[in-house]
Structure formats: structure tokens, C-alpha cells
Structure 1
């Protein structure tokens, strides 16, 4: 494997786990906000603008469905 391919693969793997880690870091707060009537897009926008949620909105909603459950968007 040449250098560029190796670096590209590492970047992809790191970004995948980084996004999941960011979601898990805020999981309980996200659940609480959803339970209090805030919608997913507002939560994501707030965290994304702060630089705390490096994933796209569609992946954010996938994590809500998979990791939090029925209290999704």
C-alpha cells in the first residue's frame, strides 16, 4: 500500500469513529433535549456550529434511531 492510500484509509477510519464518539459524548443530553420537545435538526445545528458534532445531519438522525431509540426526529 502506498503512502497516499494508507493516509486516505486512516482518515476515513478516524472520521467514522470520531463522529460516533462525538455523538456518544452527547448522547444523554441529546436524549434529554428530544424528550423536552426540541427537534433533532435544532440539536444538531447547535452542536455542529459549536464544532462538537462533526457528522452530517443524516448520520446524526441514524445515530438517534440506533442509539437512542424511538424518540427520534
Structure 2
């Protein structure tokens, strides 16, 4: 793996963990923190899409392009 791919994968996984931690933690139950958790999850998913695009997964499996057009 290239260095950039490793950074993309680490940042996406960290975003998923942090987003779910905010959403599921009893200490962060305000409405604002729900929006923050959802936005972090969306950004992590977009970062994961960039990672899959660098691996050219969407060219091998064209049916996964439905995940690429989340914006």
C-alpha cells in the first residue's frame, strides 16, 4: 500500500469510530452533538469513498457506483 492510501484508511476508520462514539455515548446526548456525529460519519464515508476510488474498486465493480454518488 502507498502512504496516501494508509492515511486515507486511518482517517476514515478514525472518523467512523469518533462519529459512533459521539452518537452512542450517554454524555453527548444533545441535539447539536447528534448533528456533529452524523456529519462526522458522512465525512468518514466520503473519505472511505476516496480510498476505494484510489484502489479502483469502482472500475472493477460498477454496481458499487451507487455508493460513490452520495453527495
Q: TM-score range by the shorter chain?
A: 0.3 to 0.5
What TM-score, normalized by structure 2, do the two folds share? 0.43
Task: Report the structure, 1 or 2, having the larger helix content.
Answer: 2
